[in-house]
Amino acid sequence: MNAEVNPLPMTGTSRDGRLMHYSVGAIIEDHGRFLLMDRMYEPHGWAGMAGHVDEGEDFLTALLREGREELGTALISMQFLREQEVPWNFCRTAEAHYWQLYRATVDPTRVRVNPHEAKSSGWFTREEMAKMALEPVWKHWFTLEGIL
């Protein structure tokens, strides 16, 4: 029986010398509603689809993989939005993250959010999102993109 090997996230050093992971995420919208997941792991809060870039992987490959892993479906289209080092964005093992953010679409009838990744999920309007406890980096992205 083969044990599944979890790949290591791609690491680097932040501008101020701390351990940094590379991450990718997507803002997914359908008819004025945004797909959010209530994260199972730190940092907690409602978030868009995202994850670490694995060692040896490029950002776009990681984005496509995360779509399959977290949403159970393929991303249909991807548009690059921005990249940024976020020195205050932490996870269980890194104190900073370097992000690439995309806008993406999916077939909403095929989305099956992985229960190992999220406590719950749904499609929310801007007004609903403004009242939610968003994961801090996602509040940052939604604000920068003019969604909040």
**Per residue in 131-140, pLDDT tens?**
999 999 999 9
Q: What is the DSSP string of 96-148?
A: EEEEEEEEEE--GGG----TTTEEEEEEE-HHHHTTS-B-HHHHHHHHHTT--
Query: Tens digits of per-residue pLDDT, 37-92?
Result: 999 888 889 999 999 999 999 999 999 999 999 999 999 999 999 999 999 999 98
How far is residue 117 from each of residues 17, 38, 53, 127, measured CA to CA in Å? 30, 8, 16, 25
pTM here is 0.92
